[in-house]
Chain A
Amino acid sequence: AQTVTQSQPEMSVQEAETVTLSCTYDTSESNYYLFWYKQPPSRQMILVIRQEAYKQQNATENRFSVNFQKAAKSFSLKISDSQLGDTAMYFCAFRGDKVIFGPGTSLSVIP
């Protein structure tokens, strides 16, 4: 069965600094996608970035980038130049035959 693990329940970062959130997953599938979602205090789920498993190149969206290591089944999210609005819960998600979410990492950006 597929699993998604986020080993950091809580993290904090100073405004303007860089932070990396970790995610590991387990699957026997070869064709899948990985996602990072952001959930601010408003509870709305917002897609941050997605990565195709068969693409070597790491996805990037403005200040957000991923480090995708397929062999290690690792999919970390790097946030550069952290802003107060980045304070949120972040969920890593696997989408293959099924959709599996990790338990989340609560990120606080400190002024």
Chain B
Amino acid sequence: EAQVTQNPRYLITVTGKKLTVTCSQNMNHEYMSWYRQDPGLGLRQIYYSMNVEVTDKGDVPEGYKVSRKEKRNFPLILESPSPNQTSLYFCASSPIWDRVSEQYFGPGTRLTVT
């Protein structure tokens, strides 16, 4: 089944404890992206990747890191999480970066930082 998977689905952590949210897609997509969703703000792009070893900042990159060593994986790293990073996170992918392609979203990761 073609899909985007994220792990974990739920995470509660404490301020400053490094964490990684994994994202994997099995559709051989070139483009991958991370979003955070907050009430009243919709989804905001954190980072995106047009292909392996190519990543770039989105609108809200502060406090996050990403890497794209393999085509299928695009982990999101929070080196020192803070409470303002409590949010719902989505990974998404599409075949290529163009304006028409639909993005396929993962199931979301609910992160709480205390």
**Contact surface of A with B, Cβ cutoff 8 Å:** 4, 6, 9, 31-33, 35, 43-45, 47, 50, 52, 91, 93, 95-96, 98-99, 101-104
Contacts and interface: CB of A to CB of B under 8 A. Distances in A.
A35 B35 CA distance: 16
B42 A95 contact: no
B90 interface: yes
Interface of B: 33, 35, 40-45, 58-59, 88, 90, 92, 99-100, 102-103, 105, 107-108
A58 to B, nearest CB: 17
Given A33-B99, A45-B90, A47-B102, A99 B108 contact: no
Given A43-B107, A99-B33, A104 B99 contact: no
Contacts of A35: 102
B42 A104 contact: yes
Contacts of A47: 102-103
21 contacts: A6-B42, A9-B40, A33-B99, A33-B100, A35-B102, A43-B88, A43-B107, A43-B108, A45-B90, A45-B103, A47-B103, A50-B100, A52-B100, A93-B43, A95-B99, A95-B100, A96-B99, A99-B45, A101-B42, A101-B43, A102-B42
